[in-house]
A and B are shown apart, each in its own frame.
Chain A
Amino acid sequence: MKIKSLVISAATVALASTAYIGLSVAFDDDSHDWGDYQVEDRRSGYTYRSAETRALQDDEFENPGMVGVDHGAELWNIAEGSEGKACADCHGDASESMAKVGATYPKFNAASSKPINVEQRINLCRVENMGAEPFKYESGEMLNMTAFVKNQSLGEPVNVVIDGEMAPFFEKGKEFYYERRGQLDMACSHCHEDNEGNMIRADHLSQGQINGFPTYRFKWQKLGSVHRRFRGCNKNIRATPYKYGSDEYVNLELYLTWRGRGLPIETPAVRN
């Protein structure tokens, strides 16, 4: 285990340092057929990354995010909490019970009258069904379990409900997306909608799609949640980020999930 992850991280360091060179490869060619990674004008972040990065994501054994997924699979079977239950005791084989689940979140939660994401759904089960402590949001356990659950939907088209009781939350997420913030006074839309496909210094701007989260980033050297990415994109424009799991970020996650409707779940995606 140790040795395997060492080898992988050495490989990724090498890749990380060459990734910027790979970036200069032009993917703006509209005629390129991206297969499932493009639905109408919606393109996965995958299509903006270098050939090396894409190859790493595609290889189930080399993909550095799979270490986390494997750990999530172990956790799935471990009993914890006052009820002495494991996820598997109630949900059985995840490849059946969790197939497609990850593609439908955030989902409305009647008890709290608001949408929750997969991380929050997992913690509900831990606290209410297992009598266990909730995972800390950006902890290895939470990321790995979330990656494991989402990975059961690999290739499944993103399909999230936005009408009915979800509608007001969707609207809030959309407002957030178009609202300027931070000392640089920019909205998400300025980079990921108006300038998608353009280079911003060394970075090739994508549409900021979230169908691959938790994502393995070379920069992080580990899996990270979509809220971590939101926080990074907020701090880069010198804006105060919101808390992990905040209502603001869950609403934004809902809106962004809808922006990527039809794109395949890629968890764990690999990005620079």
Chain B
Amino acid sequence: MLKQKSLAKLLPLTVAAAGFFATAAVADVAPSDVVIVDDNEIPQALTDTAGDAAKGRELAVNRKKGNCLACHVMPIDEHGFHGEVGPSLWGVGGNYSAAELRLRVVNYKVLNEDVIMPAFYVNSNKMHRVLKKFEDKTLLSAQEVEDIVAYLQTLTEEQPD
């Protein structure tokens, strides 16, 4: 079911979307080429390089990147102030497949159009009045999404009471 795409079409898109993330690999799936299955999962990884869970953990904390901690309680003890806006992410690795987690990080609005959670891999050209320096970008690069998905998969333990 995956779309066949020519390199010629893929290249400029990837370069534009990756913006200043100089590490973008040539084979990254561009935001507009991401294939969503059953409105619930994205089976195809966005890059050829396997996600790095340790990097994903850092990205989840980083306020300028994932900032997942702003809204979610997570098993990250060394940082205080976990948010209460979304559900706890303890155990999500056991509850969802990698493909399901990828969809949730790429664009949760597919599941809930009113959600506050930002879509981390949708081009900001689709949004209203974006500050100039964030125009034509995604919040995370394709590789960063993969890193975070790899990290979420490690969260299999349920939150202790």
A residues adjacent to B (C-beta < 8 A) = 179-186, 190-191, 194-195, 198-202, 234-235, 238-240
Contacts and interface: CB of A to CB of B under 8 A. Distances in A.
Identify the 4 closest CB pairs spanning chains A and B, nearest first: A201-B70, A190-B116, A183-B134, A202-B81
Contacts of A194: 116
Contacts of A186: 116, 118
Given A182-B131, A183-B127, A235-B131, A199 B116 contact: no
Contacts of B130: 181-183, 238-240
Contacts of A195: 85, 116
B119 A185 contact: yes
B129 A239 contact: yes
Identify whether the interface residues of B are mostly helix, strand, loop, or mixed.
loop
B16 to A, nearest CB: 15
A180 B127 contact: yes
A185 B118 contact: yes
B83 A191 contact: no
Given A183-B139, A184-B118, A200-B70, A240 B131 contact: yes
Categorize the interface residue count of chain B. Answer: 20 to 34
A182 B129 contact: yes
Interface string B112-151: 0000101100001001111110100101000000000000
Contacts of A240: 129-132
Contacts of A198: 83-85
B139 to A, nearest CB: 7
A44 B65 CA distance: 32
Contacts of A191: 116
